Amino acid sequence: MRYVGWILALLFAAAGIAGYFIFYAPLERGYREQAEEIKMWTQKVAALEGGSVTFPSDTSTSDTTLHVMRSDSTTGYGTLIATIPADILFPSDKSVEITASGRKELDKLLPALKSTAGDIIIMVHDDNVRVGDSLKDIYPSNWELTARRAALIARYFLAKGVDYTRLLPAGLSAARPAAQNSSAEGRAKNRRVEIYVMQVR
């Protein structure tokens, strides 16, 4: 009987170690990989824009927000005509259904889009919160989610008479944050849709 306590202690210790390697370690590794992926894409976007990238001094947290500092307001994407919070366009953080209020916001852009001749870039951004288990089979990551949202907006413009050859939907996931992802307010700012019109040369 005196060995029962030791045996139970060893069993609990073994269960704790196994739980770490089975559950926590893969999750931690996944967050590190996502942070590296976001860093890579942010650097690429900044290079294309001719800007520079600065990183937060504290990189030990799960907040992988990066700041893209541009020397001016112009980008290689063309003229920014609208920035719409994704929370207006979609009923929930990870939804892909456009709301009635979202359709009204998109309708406001139609006169400007139809009066121009350049390509229309639909750039959808997200926060760094991963897609939940219920949607993982459809959207393995926020890349697929933002790409789907961008395609839905493009299809909406198409249905409203915009030439489909001008529509360039792009899902950027969390690669270009506008604020820190460590707060609910910051994540809400990062969930946004930017509409650019390329100037015809």
pLDDT number for residue 137: 79
Q: Where are the domains of the chain?
A: 73-197
Architecture of domain 73-197: 2-Layer Sandwich (3.30)
The answer to whether 10 touches 17, Cβ cutoff 8 Å, is no
- Phi–psi pair at 105, nearest 5 degrees: -65, -40
Share of the chain above pLDDT 90, in %: 45
What's the mean per-residue pLDDT of the chain? 76
- 46 contacts 68 by C-beta, under 8 angstroms: yes
Q: Is residue 56 scored above 50 in pLDDT?
A: no
* Distance (Å, whole) CA 36 – CA 30: 10
Higher pLDDT, 3 or 176: 176
| DSSP three-state, residue 159 | helix
Angle, CA of 71, 73 and 75, to the nearest 5°:
90
pLDDT tens profile 140-153: 888 999 999 999 99
Closest CA to 87 of 184, 169, 180, 197: 184
Whole-number pLDDT of residue 199: 75
User: Which stretches of 71-183 are DSSP H helices?
Assistant: 86-89, 100-114, 142-159
Q: How confident is the model at residue 189 (pLDDT cuts 50, 70, 90)?
A: very high
Query: Tens digit of pLDDT for each residue in 111-142?
Result: 999 998 899 999 999 999 988 777 777 888 88
